[in-house]
Every structure is written in structure tokens, then in C-alpha cells.
Structure 1
């Protein structure tokens, strides 16, 4: 023995009702759906109601002058493209569609035509590019790419560092050799001959040191005898 399920109990009662000639009223499918739809209270703004960040429109709301009135908005969670608007007593006012009175800036025919023209133009461009391939392959190699501003600065910095390395004192260079190199660089510049800029900068700085001045004093005191052993071509010009 077991208790009947609700459906079994209903079927049994229906048999008895039919035998007695009594038929209970039945709900239509639409009425049955209305019973189970969730709803929320919302305020009408002109012909609009808003629900879950969506806006729904029906001209009936404005025609009935319901602006500012509170209504019950029923919705189907599986289909949020429309809602059912009722008054607070449950009477159906209208069915409102999401964004019901909005229209795209371009109609569908214009959009379709523009897309077709674009596709045709793209096909023509593709065919043109394919036909140009043999000609492009015969073209000479393109010119080297121009350096950017950052690349130019890096190149100049590298050149300056390399020049500084050339002008810096040599590891096996004696103080007398160093003085002589600086003196010949300064003399070449004074005579108008081309001199490496970094070498000239180093020579000018070195000429202010006590080491340079002491060798200048020795040259003045001893003359050409002091130059003995120095190669004539040891200048950085």
C-alpha cells in the first residue's frame, strides 16, 4: 500500500467527476504560464519599463498615461526579449519588447549591399596582388631601412665610445710618450690639420695636468735633447 501521487489522485478524481457529469474548470496554456512567471515591481517612464539592466518598450504605456505609475513586470528567464506588464491587481496591460522602439542607424538592406561591395573589392584586390607577384619578384632589393631617432643616438654614442677608447692613454705608454702624443695633437689642431675630436678633447684636458706641464718645462730647459727617442710619427692626428 502507498499514497497516491498528486497526478494519480487528480486522474482518479477526474474519473469520478466525469461519472457525475461535473467537469472542473481548466486553465489555458497561457494562463498556466502566467501563474509561474517571476515578476518585479517597476515604475513606468513614458513608454518604458526597465528590468535587469534591460529596457522594454510599449506605446500602450504612454497611451494610457501610466508615466510614473508602479506596475508589475513579469518575465520569462529563458526568453528576456519581452516582458508582460500588469497593473497591481494583476490585469494585463501590454506586452513590451526589449528596445522596442529603437532602430539601427543603417537599415538591413543598406548594410547587406555595403558588405557585398566590400567583398567584391577585396576579391579584386586579391586578384590584382596575385597577378603582380612575378613583377614584384623581379624588382631589386628594397633600400635599407632608415634608422630611427633612438638608433641614430645609439650609433652616435657607440662611435663616441670607440673614439674615446682610441684617445685614452695606452696601457704600455710612458708619461713622456703620453705628453708627446698630446703635444702633437694640439700642434696639429693649431696648424689646421684634421684631428679626432675625442683625441683633441683628451689632449686639452691632459695639458692642464702637472705631468704635462713638467714635460713642457723639461723641453724648454733641454731643448731637442729632451726629444731623443721619440718617434716623429707618434701623434694622434
Structure 2
């Protein structure tokens, strides 16, 4: 992994292994690894996430890049500069996949693995490092997916559900201390429900059932419906 931090050719290999239509979502996932380590996610980054979530909005990423660049020019924190440069690359490759005219450089995505790993070194948290590494290499570790857009998109959705259960649901309140796989056994069923068209009530009730009958702690349907909405929005 150390070579990825310095060798742009390895970043190129990683990036080019990702199907074009999945690249913005992959890059957004990489960037989002740092959300919980920031005092506050910049508004410009939150807006970029919203753009990534809707393919029809990808063309807006050009203006979003400019906003992030301006934020970086005003920034005086050298470490945070690495994060914002990463965000700039994410905005660039998102716009490039929109098919609009005047794309950014075709090699804009090559440095995403490099910037992400180097910024994780600055934060110096082993859990973060492992999260960044596994997200960067998600398609290298699932090579059978890369020839199917449906399969690769599903893999991204699966990972996002994993994130939601861990960072947002977390009914036991242990995502700062426990192993990352604490809720991963629940992902397949929630993923299938989403794929099969389950509504927010069905997913919310399933989460509540997991809380009360599987995990064994009290929960509320209202809170589970909030998580269901996040899952359906992925």
C-alpha cells in the first residue's frame, strides 16, 4: 500500500479498473471516509455528495470544483489542503463522467488513491486507514464485478448500506470502539429488501426487529424510519 502513496501509475491502474459510470460513486465513497474525522463537513463537500448521488446532476460538478478550489485557496491548513485536493479530484472525475463538453484532464482520477491514503496518514487513525484502503481497492478485491455495470452499482449500494448501518444506525453505540464488522451480517437482507422495492416502513420495521429481537435492545420505529430513508436514498 505504501507504493500507492507515491506512485501515480498504481493509482492509474486502480482508477482504470473501475467502470466509468461507477467512478463518481466510488470517488465519493473514498472521500466520505473522512466525514466523521472532520469537525464539520464543508458545505461544498456536502453539495458534491448530493451531485454524485444523482447522475443527472453530474454536469454541475464543474461549478462545484470551482467552489472547492476557492475554499482551498482560502485554506491555510496544510493537512486539510490534502483533503480539499482530494475533493477537487472527485469533482473533476464526476464532471468528466457527465459527458458534457470541456472535460477536465483524463488523468484526474489517478491521484485519488494517493491523496486519500496520504490524508489518512495525516489523521493517523488505523481504523480510518483500513476504511480508506478497503474502499480504494473495492473493485480490485471483487474483480468479477467490473464487467457488469449492474453488479458494480450493486456493490457500491451494498457498501453504502454497510456505512449507514455502522455510522448512522449503530443501535448499540459502539462504532468508535468495536470491530467494523459488528452489523455486517444484517446487510444482505437489508440490501435484498431495497433491491426488491421494499418501502420505508418495511425497512424501518426490519431494523426495529433487528434491534429488539436480534440485538436485544429497545428501539423506536421513528428512529428506524430515518435510517430507512437514508438506505432508500442510496
Scaled by the length of structure 1, the TM-score of the pair is 0.18
State the structure with more CA Rg: 1
Scaled by the length of structure 2, the TM-score of the pair is 0.18
> Which protein has the bigger strand share?
1
- Higher relative contact order, chain-length normalized (CA < 8 Å, sep 6+): 2
